[in-house]
Chain A
Amino acid sequence: MALPDALVRELEALCGKYPQRRAALIPALHRCQEELGGWISPEVMEDLASFFALEPVEVFGVASFYPMFHLAPVGKHVVSVCRNISCDLRGADGILEEVCRVTRAEPHATSADGKFSVETVECQGACANAPMMDVDGTYHEDLDAGKVREILSRLA
């Protein structure tokens, strides 16, 4: 097993929350993505399959169903711009355009320097503070182009 020992112990503890171990699969995918480079590689899926006594394709079936799991490498920072209705009504397109301009990444792609991946996401539940984006798991709300520049320029 290639998963780090500390992570395996943590996954064991997660399994203890549920009457059946498999229930910990989605939380385990989250932990692996957080700890192992920001995405779920085929090797990690195989490791998780053996951990949960599942077929690798079952792990793939779950991982591929959920938009938060990246099945390909991502940049150092992941910028997710909401473009659902409440954000769209308050200028999400302009936010996305500014994000792409600052990061030099196309939507749904990673910048050439590997620093930023830009994705669009559906409603994030920040509708009363639209438009919004999520950067590496933190919400940034009530955005305008200036705030986008300021937030992204702080990232090393």
Chain B
Amino acid sequence: MKTFPTYLLESARTPGAHALDVYRGRGGYAALEKVLKTPIPPAQVIAEVKASGLRGRGGAGFPTGLKWSFMPDPAKDPRPRYLAVNADESEPGTCKDRVLMERDPHGLLEGALIAAYAIRAGAVYIYVRGEYRRSYARLQAAIDEARAANLAGQKILGTDFSCELHLHQGAGAYICGEETGLMESLEGKRGHPRPKPPFPAGSGLWASPTTVNNVETIHNVPFIVNRGEAWFRSMGTPASTGNFLCGISGHVERPGVYELPFGLAAREILEEVAGGVWKKRRLKAWFPGGSSTGLLPASAIDVRMDHDSIKAAGSMFGTAAMIILDEESCVVRASHVIARFYDHESCGQCSQCREGTQWLSQIFRRIEEGEGQADDVATLESLARGMAPGKTICALSDAAAIPTLAVIKHFRAEIEEHIRLKRCPFRDAATAGATAPAGVLEKGAVLR
């Protein structure tokens, strides 16, 4: 396999690098110092990040520098300004931000301080998913260290730049990873996404200009400042620059979080990086970027992992969370697990989503349990088309509809076989494993 430069996980791989002295010993906070002491004007930091081509790593792949440039001119807009870091990692299959927060918390803080400087925010709120207690503890310890070292708080490093770093613990709702749901939750409310416009840069947290960035996105920023946009563009593809963290899970020999350049073939990642499909089995299907990205058949495994290539293959890059299904897996079961999740997580504001996710879950379940009806595939298809695209306040409805349409597109025959046989043809295979205690699926499905 070809080798490639890495940077994102270097600190995370260094023992003890969550502590300030070790992080600084590795050159940590040099980028912040460079920005503040040179000083590099905020507009120039934004220009550098724009030129680097950095795209958001939270799923949408939006250009980061461009997002920052949407913040209004502070000379004309006196409202307080905020950076919200989206650390509510919860897309099924995604486990990359956790690695960064637990093992390299100062990398996140340094990036957040530079981003806050660029958008001229006086406070950063890091919204950490509630279950990530270890991430929270590591980040809190890092904030305390940074504040004691005058790297956060008032007049940072003796300059005129002041910025407070705050952590906020979420409480288990997937929808708070959606940026406007996150803001509602941070304000102490139910995590109901807000209609857009207004966009966060115009009216975000407490109706003030706000930028929301993902953890991994922010982690890239100090490297771009230190090494320059041209260095960043030397990795990856022209439209997807730099490295990304790929979490690979499911039926794979070496599941893990790997740092890879954009543009690597998915086959190379599966077979060479992650050791191939487990138990010497063959690949059946895979999700390229989390459960909301439509699954692809084994025949698509030669596609390259970058935004444009995955889109051309009919799916989405998402959070680069590759989920691998071996030849003994049942795609109906997988579809039910995923549909059940979106049913559980729908906030309930939009009827298409609230009802649609529930119906999708129930129909996939009855097909899997041998009670499918002849027109179920048609029903699934029409439901999914009624839920997306762009028919609801946020994209959760799309996130449920997309994998539904994908499984119908690639595995219609397998779904129909379930209905015809009145049972799951894979149920007795090894994948079924131990069967669930009676009633487990039903009970969970109605819990909210």
User: A interface vs B, CB < 8 Å?
Assistant: 17-20, 22-27, 29-30, 52, 61-62, 65-69, 83-86, 88-91, 93-94, 96-97, 100, 106-108, 120-130, 134, 137-139
Contacts and interface: CB of A to CB of B under 8 A. Distances in A.
Given A65-B191, A125-B132, A130-B255, 13 more contacts: A68-B130, A84-B291, A85-B93, A85-B291, A86-B249, A107-B437, A123-B341, A125-B89, A127-B250, A127-B321, A128-B248, A130-B250, A138-B133
A26 B185 contact: yes
Interface residues of B, number: 66
19 contacts: A20-B187, A23-B186, A23-B187, A26-B170, A29-B171, A30-B130, A62-B189, A65-B190, A67-B447, A69-B171, A85-B338, A89-B249, A89-B250, A89-B323, A93-B435, A106-B437, A107-B444, A122-B174, A130-B249
A97 B435 CA distance: 8
Interface string B148-185: 00000000000000000010111111100000000001
Contacts of B347: 65
B165 to A, nearest CB: 10
Contacts of A139: 134
B341 A122 contact: yes
Interface of B: 80, 89-95, 97-98, 129-134, 166, 168-174, 185-191, 206, 247-251, 255-257, 287, 291, 321, 323-325, 329, 333-334, 337-338, 341, 344-345, 347, 431, 433-437, 439-440, 443-444, 447
B133 A137 contact: yes
A88 B334 contact: yes
A125 B250 contact: no
Contact of A65 (B173, B249, B255, B341): B173
Contacts, number: 172
A127 B94 contact: yes
A42 to B, nearest CB: 18
A147 to B, nearest CB: 15
Main secondary structure of the interface of A (DSSP, over half): mixed
Given A86-B323, A88-B334, A62 B91 contact: no
Nearest to B348: A65
Contact of B188 (A24, A130, A138): A24
Q: Which 10 A-B pairs have the closest CB atoms?
A: A66-B171, A94-B434, A25-B188, A68-B172, A127-B249, A86-B249, A67-B172, A22-B188, A123-B92, A65-B190
A127 B190 contact: no
Nearest to A33: B171
Contacts of B132: 125
Contacts of B170: 26, 66
Contact of B345 (A20, A69, A88, A122): A122
Nearest to A86: B249
Contacts of A62: 188-190
